[in-house]
A = this chain, B = another copy of it.
């Protein structure tokens, strides 16, 4: 955390981190596509205009670096919670807890945690265009493990036809992104606990008669 940060070259890691932090701030505030690379350089205190290009190359790689940095915190936490779940047994709320809490802890992370959450919230809704950050979710990540585990706790049709787990994940990041946007976040524990309640309620949402009818009878398809 002091000056040369260790690895040998002058301030390489240091500069890299400055760039990442600058990008976090600007991306989260203005949107990923609405910030120029030069802006990021400037905001990082880099007098040079090429530093970003040198260290990351493209905007997409920079986004990927931001995500990787924070996921290094989130992943082990979720894996630990899922380990505990598998060992001790638990209910649906315990699973919702394992989904929510590791990401929600980023709300209290002073080092770009909220920026990360807002960036993720944008990516959840726009995973397509100028990014291809190689992928927002690669295999063997904890969230896939969570998806597999939760499949046993909700109706098969809700998994296969209604994609409810994906809704839960999207909603999680949307709500966290919104919360991260709020400058004053009082009642943190209450917020998190309630978010767990919401996610659990979504996963366990009863299928209404009308939905069930539509699921079964494929014949009718008149209008909206």
Contact = CB atoms under 8 A, between A and B. Distances in A.
A207 B197 CA distance: 7
A171 interface: yes
Nearest to A126: B31
Contacts of A68: none
A204 interface: yes
B194 A201 contact: no
A201 B193 contact: no
Interface string A57-95: 000000000000000000000000000000000000100
Contacts of A224: 101, 104-105, 107-108, 188-189, 192
Contact of A171 (B93, B118, B125, B171): B171
Contact of A170 (B175, B200, B214): B175
A162 B190 CA distance: 8
Nearest to A222: B189
Contacts of A128: 181
A75 to B, nearest CB: 17
A108 B215 CA distance: 20
A167 interface: yes
Interface residues of A, number: 56
Interface in A153-192: 161-162, 164, 167, 170-171, 174-175, 177-178, 181, 187-190, 192
A93 B210 CA distance: 11
Contacts of A6: none
A13 interface: no
A105 B224 CA distance: 7
Nearest to A127: B181
Given A104-B224, A125-B121, A130 B30 contact: yes
Nearest to A192: B224
16 contacts: A30-B33, A31-B31, A31-B34, A31-B122, A33-B34, A93-B208, A118-B125, A125-B178, A128-B181, A167-B175, A167-B198, A171-B171, A194-B211, A196-B208, A197-B207, A201-B205
